Amino acid sequence: MHPAYNDLKRRLAEVDDLTSAAALLQWDQQTHMPEGGAEARGRQLATLQRLAHQKFTDEAIGELLDDLTGESAAWPYDSDEASLLRVTSREYARATRIPADFVAEVSSHAATTFSAWAVARPANDFASLRPKLEKSLELSRRYADFFPESAEPIDAHIANSDFGMTAASVGELFAQLRTELVPLVRVIAECPPIDDAPLYQHYPEDAQLRFGEEVARQLGYDFQRGRQDKTHHPFATKFSVNDVRITTRLDEKWLSEGLFGTIHETGHALYEQGVDARLEATPLALGTSAGVHESQSRLWENLVGRSRAFWKHFYGPLQELFPTQLGEVPLEAFYRAINKVQPSLIRTEADEVTYNLHVLLRFDLERALLNGELAVADLPEAWNGRMEADLGLTPPDDRNGVLQDVHWFDGFIGGAFQGYTLGNVMSAQFFAAAQSAHPEIPGQIETGRFDSLREWMRANIYCHGRKFTADELLRRATGGPLSITPYMAYLRRKYGELYGL
């Protein structure tokens, strides 16, 4: 290989070492760090992140990328070399447009806004956050100004998490989805409610943790290259292809929280553990976008983990573990309970059918804020109006409304929500493609075998890391562009049967 290529890889590995070290400090911060460590940890993280940014935006990297551009004509598009050059050039061009003092301004504003939100949310105090939110909006628009080719300000933010998507493409897909979902939710809301009381009993934490780890292991999560810890907010993180960790949160009074949270994070981790080891320590050794990442967590959590087939295998062991809680609850009643649909106020607790309406609302509001069509002062009212229109509920206060998610209160406004719904939509499209290649998948799941499904995901998605954009992956893996058709078909089939529609 060209000497410039080796030099580029060496420099990128150093950047990766710094960002991985920062990720490890963040993991520690949320799992084991004593409270007293907070101040120094903030400083250490800022130092590592600044060094990583400096190293990545070094002019020497730009020169190496230029040198290699001439060479690369001979490299096949899907080769590791061409992909590394393509993705690194894209990231380098984006990163070098942002002045360092702007980055510093955003990060210090983000830190004070986050602390203020942590106090204001429990106090239900939107008014005190309003000036900070207005500043966040101004910074978010200034960020977009660095990308004047964008059709809308939010496009610059979407490109950071779901590269290749725009407000126009996402907005059109979401509008189609909303047209289908709102009436479906309304019809289900009129059906007799499903009894989910069996899930709300006392479930001792240790037993929940053991069961969750056993499920993760059987799904294919490799504990030789990972581990699970408890945190306040569950997440998955990676320091290397061979060290991908998950965390979970358990509620002794509600089984679903820990169980489906663990399966969700396992899905993220299967993706990262499945990235080809050849891509280690390069910008390609990551999931490709927020949407594709979420497609994997949601696929394993919902399409697999909330399916009847899955529980034909796992319900016996769960009953044995919790005989007093579930011994008398038939499989079918349990299956119905874990799939209960009920419009609710909080996104993270929403069921599969109503969940996306929470995301669509946030996406539309942040897009309107950035376009200057909605003022921060009018945000709570706009939020409540849309909740009423889509879910038939009005939040009693802002704590259960506009203040519930951290996403608008830790830096920019824009680009952080669409991935959740893109992921749900993609999950069904990928699952349908896997199943048509391997019709035996549902039968295998009933017997606790997940290898055909996981191997299809590994070969078509995981191994490529960030070599391809979400759109490229979808076309390669499923033969077509992103579409809501498989997702809506899945929801109608499953919930049509559950609710007798």
- Where along the sequence are the contacts to Zn ion (CB under 5 A)? 297
What is the Cα–Cα distance from 470 to 292, expressed in whole angstroms? Answer: 6
Q: Which residue has the tokens 């978010």?
A: 140
Which of residues 266 and 297 has its CB atom nearest to Zn ion in the complex? 297
Residue of 310, 344, 24 whose CA lies nearest to 196: 344
Pull the structure tokens for residue 372.
Answer: 């200057």
What is the Cα–Cα distance from 165 to 356, expressed in whole angstroms? Answer: 18
Which of residues 297 and 339 has its CB atom nearest to Zn ion in the complex? 297
Please say whether the beta carbons of 331 and 192 come within 8 A.
no
- Provide the minimum distance between the beta carbon of 420 and Zn ion in the complex, in angstroms, as a whole number: 8
Q: Residue 209, exposed/middle/buried by CB under 10 A (0-12, 13-18, 19+)?
A: middle
Please say whether the beta carbons of 419 and 161 come within 8 A.
yes
Instruction: Report CA 410 to chain centroid distance, whole Å.
Output: 16
- Provide the minimum distance between the beta carbon of 398 and Zn ion in the complex, in angstroms, as a whole number: 25
Residue 58: left (phi > 0), alpha (psi -120 to 50), or beta?
beta
- Provide the minimum distance between the beta carbon of 415 and Zn ion in the complex, in angstroms, as a whole number: 16
By Cβ distance, which residue is nearest to Zn ion?
A: 297
Q: Which of 91, 265, 272, 294 is catalytic?
A: 265
Q: What angle do CA 360, 364, 367 make, to 5 degrees?
A: 140
Beta carbons within 8 Å of 37's beta carbon, 6+ residues apart = 29
Using the CB atoms, write b or e for 263-293: b if 16+ within 10 Å.
Answer: bbbbbbbbbbbbbbeebebbbbbbbbbbbbb
Could you give the count of Cα atoms lying within 13 Å of 44 in the half-sphere of its Cβ?
Answer: 13
Which of residues 234 and 465 has its CB atom nearest to Zn ion in the complex? 234
- Provide the minimum distance between the beta carbon of 224 and Zn ion in the complex, in angstroms, as a whole number: 23
Which of residues 287 and 411 has its CB atom nearest to Zn ion in the complex? 287
- Mind giving me the DSSP string for 294-326? HHHHHIIIIIITTSHHHHHHHHHHHHHHSHHHH
- Provide the minimum distance between the beta carbon of 269 and Zn ion in the complex, in angstroms, as a whole number: 11
Residue 366 annotated to the active site: no
Which of residues 297 and 325 has its CB atom nearest to Zn ion in the complex? 297
Which of residues 10 and 233 has its CB atom nearest to Zn ion in the complex? 233
- Provide the minimum distance between the beta carbon of 472 and Zn ion in the complex, in angstroms, as a whole number: 22
Catalytic residue list: 265
